Chains A and B, each alone.
Chain A
Amino acid sequence: MKPAPFDYYAPTTVEQALAHLAEHGDEAKVLAGGQSLVPMMNFRLVQPSVLVDLNPIPDLAFIQPDENGGLRIGALTRHYQVEVDPLVAVRMPLLHEAVPKIGYPQIRRRGTMGGSLCHADPSAELVAVSVALNGRFRLRSPKGERWIPAQDFFIGLFTTVLQPDELLVEVALPPLPARTGGSFMEVARRRHDFALVGVAAVVSLDGKGVCRQVRMVFLSAGDRPMEARRAADVLMGQAPTPEAIRAAAEIAASDDIDPSSDIHATAEFRRHLAKVLARRALDQACRRAAEKK
């Protein structure tokens, strides 16, 4: 399975990359990790006539603390770098928990945060996690730049608000509030397959142990990351008892997601798994939150 021919550019600055994109528009595809794009090219499912390789650009990969206690991650940062970074483990444990579940070890050496987010596969771990963590994405174009909240970035199956002449260059993750716990869980056929269903849950408790903020986002449960708003509403202001969590999980599965059927799982089974995972993840997130000061 060999790819169709293309013209290749290897810019060394973001400006050069943007210039190529502006020139070629829809004919061009951006190459980052290539772990999703190149298989599709080998299958000839996509046949871009121009490939703009971002890998040579030096300052697009970084993991930096921001002064508020959050993190700023460059778009070309490899999953492996995120996986082993001590700052991520401390400041964003949910991300630290989710990244090892991305594909296989070799995939994580090349795959990038920006690539995964822009590919916008609803079964991608980072897609759901970026929404659960209230991430914001910095997009640059020849015209300037803009920041988009993660939840507004993903608008459909493999579809984002990114324009043909825009590049995602950075992800900003705000600091977690006090007494916040997270939990990432997924169910996959083999350990490293795409999740049948997955969930990223983040819960913040107040001084009395009542849920002050709840955010739960599902992967593989719709055509984009599915935020369980109704479930969150049910749990807000409640003590995280097993009954309250169970009720929230039920609502999440019945009202907040829109899973489809494929050869690996039916929509019904996905809903069932979503309910189970929501319950387990909320439980774990609440426990972890309670352990924090």
Chain B
Amino acid sequence: MTKTLIGKRVLRNEDPRLLTGQAQFVDDVEIPGLLHAAFLRSDHAHARLLGMDVSAARQRPGVVAVFTAEDMGDDWQPGPPLVSPPPTAKDVLFYSRRQVPLVKDKVRHAGEAMAVVIAESRYIAEDAVEDIVVDLEPLETVVDLEKALQPGSPLVHDDLESNLAAHLSQKKGDYETARRQADLVLKRRIVIDRGAAAAMENRGIVADWDEKSQHLTVWDTTQAPIPIRNGLAARLGLSENQVRVIAPFIGGGFGPKMMMFYAEEMVIPWAAMKLKRPIKWIEDRRENFYATTQERGQIHDVEIALSRDGHILGLKDVFLHDTGAYDPYGLTIPLNTQCHAMGGYDIKNYSTDVSVVFTNKTLVTPVRGAGRPQGIYIIERLLDIASKELGIDAVEIRKRNLIPADAFPYKHGIIDQAFSPLILDSGNYWPVMQKALEMIGYEKFVRDEQPRLRKEGRHVGIAITPFIESTGVGPYEGARVTVEASGRIHVATGVGTQGQGHFTSFAQVVAQQLGVAVSDVRIVSGDTAEFHWGTGTFASRGAVVAGNAIHAAASIVRRKVLELASKELQTPQDELELEGGMVRVADIPDKSISLGELAARANPLRGAVEPGTEPGLEATSYFGPRYGATAFGTHAMILEIDPETMMIEIKRYVTVEDCGTVLNPLILEGQIHGGVSLGIGNAYYEKLHFDENGQLLNASFADYLIPSATEMPRIEVGHMETRSPLNELGTKGVGEAGTIPVPALFAQAVENALADRELEILETPLSPNRLYELWSQKEAR
């Protein structure tokens, strides 16, 4: 009877608060006596810290304290390893080196925190930072990935023999044999450069230690409040129950806010306990470019072996991955790259070898996409080149290699970022690609429009790029669903939220089960006082893992509701319906009881309670998928380029997503749009320029170019649904999908538009200048 709420375009519960400026972000937290912190950061990327004189800073009026590594004494410890190397992979070499609270011996990247000033205002704190005198001995920097591995290179970590942070080889089948049988072997070098997540809200933390109650409250712009709570408790010698971490409204996460522990997260709570005063630190935009993690830097030497008719016989990839100065995040990103370099294709022989390299640059941890865009870039570029060499149409060559619908679950066998053997759980790939082709009018464009435009002297290209996205990985999430006496539903879960609409999509899942209005479901997330167990939002897993935990808990509550209502209404359960916040007997509408009333009866002040029952109408459930579900999508684009200026205009942009069951299409579209905007940034506008001294040359929004409304096209979103068998809701994640194929799509479109010069693009991000160089190197045909 209840209309299904799953898949409905429900308006968001959280919007009125956000729209009126009433939502609390970390910098909005005010506490009486609040002090403010500013950090002294290194200008050098690699230098020995010989000494620091903070006396002048300490004496500045309004300064309460200045702390260095020395002042932290035994409390000074590097951050914990977040992700260990996969125990399931063989022959993994991994040297764990984690970031430090404040520099002790050596600066390893520009922007590394060396001291912290605590003062009455941020203004005064910054004045005092300038008072500090630092004696740094600059050292030769390590910036280039290949030079970093050469013998004699300066070392980022002196206790290691080289700058090799990790090494991992994985194999599927037998590439060498496949290669020998190939009609065509292509070898290329592909270079991918760094970009930033650049959420609109910079990071921040407020720490409040209450000496009397011996309790620490921390507000943090983190995607993972529970692990932060656990880690802080461990670091500070407290019980987990003495620490409460709140991730309130967060202004965008995109990955780097999942990293922990940032130096500031280690220092500020410690300082708050030491001074017994609440302290706030808010990152500014310049700091964000240096001190918040980045991603994408890799160099690939790839080889693909194909048969004459375009079938991929094997793929080999040897690559370097830039981890920056430390490697707390294990092998997550390169594993994702390894698992996505085969795309959605049926490749039986694969050899992949990654060397992770330390450099004197900002740390690398996942940024939306997290290694997947690099993998897709490789395979799609190779297929484009193969298509030209073999004379096979670009769409056709992909069709021939896509995993067929009857081959699922498809086992690749290599290990993925969740330490499981990579299995693509379900999918129906070719129809998704077909739908994208139809939506963009691919055939008609290539046959009729493009030749006409070319005659007019215009350079308009079309491109299509299929891709997979691993999502919804474990380990687990949990949720507690409670019917309150008011009849409203209270839901608590451990994952935070940074704009993805969890307050609404999760409410839809609960409302679906309990027959209430979506607006009557209150979701609390990101507060460790509300829910004790969980990890965080990353790897496109919120809807899948937390969503399914919520679904499970809501299902149990539904069962309890029906059991109790059946007794109260003296009617068998199968004759009861849940609708409009009531339980009613079908066909006898006045025989009903409200959920609120039931909740009250489930928690009586007197009377006996049957053994084995639990009070109230509440349930807590956990969900951990057997492995991550794999989504599939295809993007297509028509792009015009002015070959004299290399300025582009995106004429049409189409995406088709298959992420299983969709909870809320409005929210889904928003996720795709946002992901594509980062993807377009990665493809054509955003590049972090480090010079040979490890200095970031574009550490501001004036020079780091994020697409604005005038650069973004209108995006047409199509859907297909292949339910995942891995969870009851049948969902797959989609949070990162928008970003993954875009650089590959761009390269294909630009080559297609500039076809008269037969460019071969093997790098990303592109820029007008770079295209001009590539164009100038080629003669017109």
Contact = CB atoms under 8 A, between A and B. Distances in A.
Interface in B616-650: 644-645, 647
A191 B769 contact: no
Nearest to A5: B127
Contacts of A196: 768
Contact of A1 (B284, B689, B698, B702): B284
Nearest to A42: B284
Nearest to A185: B645
A143 interface: no
Nearest to A4: B127
Interface in A183-206: 187, 189-194, 196
Contacts of B685: 189-190
B705 A193 contact: yes
B123 A189 contact: no
A191 B772 contact: no
Nearest to A279: B644
Nearest to A191: B710
B116 to A, nearest CB: 16
Interface of A is mostly: loop
A276 interface: yes
A8 to B, nearest CB: 14
Nearest to B284: A1
Given A4-B127, A43-B286, A263-B689, A191 B705 contact: no
A92 to B, nearest CB: 25
B703 interface: yes
Contacts of B123: 2, 5
A265 B711 contact: no
B705 A190 contact: yes
A273 B767 CA distance: 14
Contact of B769 (A5, A39, A264): A264
Interface string A226-260: 00000000000000000000000000000000000
B285 A191 contact: no
A4 B127 CA distance: 7
Interface string B684-704: 010001000000011010110
Contact of B708 (A191, A263, A264, A273): A191
Nearest to B700: A43
Contact of B710 (A39, A187, A190, A265): A190
B645 A187 contact: yes
Given A2-B123, A4-B127, A189 B768 contact: yes
Contact of A189 (B127, B705, B772): B705
B764 to A, nearest CB: 16
Contacts of B689: 263
B289 to A, nearest CB: 12
Nearest to B691: A263
The contact size tier of chain A is: 20 to 34
B698 A263 contact: yes
A273 B685 CA distance: 18
B126 interface: yes
A119 interface: no
Contacts of A43: 286, 700
B768 A2 contact: no
A269 B646 CA distance: 10
A29 interface: no
A44 B43 CA distance: 14
B769 A265 contact: yes
B126 A2 contact: yes
A287 interface: no
B647 A187 contact: yes
A181 B707 CA distance: 34
Nearest to B776: A272
Contacts of B707: 190
Interface in B324-361: none
Which of A263, A265, A276 has the largest number of chain B CB atoms within 10 A?
Answer: A263
A266 B645 contact: no
A4 B129 CA distance: 12
Nearest to A197: B645
A282 to B, nearest CB: 15
A246 to B, nearest CB: 13
A187 B707 CA distance: 16
B122 interface: yes
Given A5-B127, A273-B645, A276-B645, A191 B286 contact: no
A198 to B, nearest CB: 12
Given A1-B286, A266-B769, A192 B127 contact: no
A193 B704 CA distance: 11
Which of A39, A189, A192, A265 has the largest number of chain B CB atoms within 10 A?
Answer: A189
A240 to B, nearest CB: 20
Interface in B706-745: 707-708, 710-711
A269 B772 contact: yes
A187 B767 CA distance: 13
A269 B774 CA distance: 12
A187 to B, nearest CB: 5
A265 B772 CA distance: 10
Contacts of B286: 1, 43
Interface in A80-135: none
Contacts of A273: 645
Contacts of B644: 276
Contacts of A193: 702, 705
A193 B711 CA distance: 12
B765 to A, nearest CB: 11
A44 B644 CA distance: 39
Interface string A157-200: 00000000000000000000000000000010111111010000
A272 B647 CA distance: 13
Interface in A29-74: 39, 43-44
Interface string B101-134: 0000000000000000000001100110010000
Nearest to B126: A2
A53 B128 CA distance: 27
B567 to A, nearest CB: 63
A-B pairs, 3 with minimum CB distance: A191-B710, A2-B123, A263-B689
Interface of A: 1-2, 4-5, 39, 43-44, 187, 189-194, 196, 263-266, 269, 272-273, 276
24 contacts: A1-B286, A2-B123, A4-B127, A5-B123, A39-B702, A43-B700, A44-B130, A187-B645, A189-B685, A189-B767, A189-B768, A190-B685, A190-B707, A190-B710, A190-B711, A191-B708, A191-B710, A192-B710, A193-B705, A263-B698, A269-B769, A269-B772, A269-B773, A276-B644
